[in-house]
Each structure stands twice: as structure tokens, then as C-alpha cells.
Amino acid sequence: MKVETKQFMPNHSERALWVGILVSLLFTGLIWLTAPLLPQINFLPDTGASWYYWQLPEPTVWTRTAVWTGYLLHQLVAWGIIYYAQQNKLKYTKGLHRANYLALAANAL
């Protein structure tokens, strides 16, 4: 009886998944290693259910502008990728389309 052996060759989707996991782990390790070098931030005391730990004690126009600009750019890029995918009438596949790679790259930035 002949037993068929198959070598495991990951497809592009699996490779993208593992690269994403690896990059996430590397960034987590980098943050953990450099934590002692980062400045300490004194966070506001807990004020109840609507309290958010990462609030700055004194937000400025610049901190708000930076955060909202990043959020706006992220939204524009995400909706741009969705528009691109709809315009190209992409069909479902077992793998990833260019739009998927664009979305992964945009979220990695």
C-alpha cells in the first residue's frame, strides 16, 4: 500500500496570517524592552464607568489634532480600500486579493 505524503506549503493567506502574528509579537516585545526608556505619564484618577485610563491629564490642541487626524486618515484609507474592492467586483476566493493586502498594510501602519 502506497501512502501519499504531501509537503506543507502555506498559501498566501496563511503566510499573511503568520507574518501578521510575527510582526505583532515583535512589536509587543519591542514595547516591553523599551518600556524603561519611555517617559512616565501620570494618568488621571478613576472617575467611574466612563473613565478612560489613557486620557492625558492636560490634552492640548496638538494632541487632539494628532489623534483626530490619525483617526480621519485611517477612516479615509479603509473606505478607499472598500471602494477599490467594490469597483473591481472582487469574487470570493480561498486566498487574499490585492485589497486584502492593502488593508493589512494600512492597518500595520
pLDDT in tens, 45-91: 888 888 888 888 888 999 999 999 999 999 999 999 999 999 998 88
The answer to pTM > 0.85 is no
Angle at 102 between CA 100 and CA 107, to 5 degrees: 95
**Domain presence at residue 51:** no
Residue-number span of the structural domain to which 95 is assigned: 75-109
**Domain presence at residue 82:** yes
**Domain presence at residue 42:** no
**Domain presence at residue 106:** yes
pLDDT digits (tens, 9 = 90+) for 1-16: 555 555 555 677 888 8
Cell of residue 82, nine digits: 472598500
Greater model confidence, 6 or 29: 29
Cell of residue 79, nine digits: 473606505
**Domain presence at residue 91:** yes
**Domain presence at residue 7:** no
Residue for grid cell 498594510:
105
Greater model confidence, 63 or 17: 63
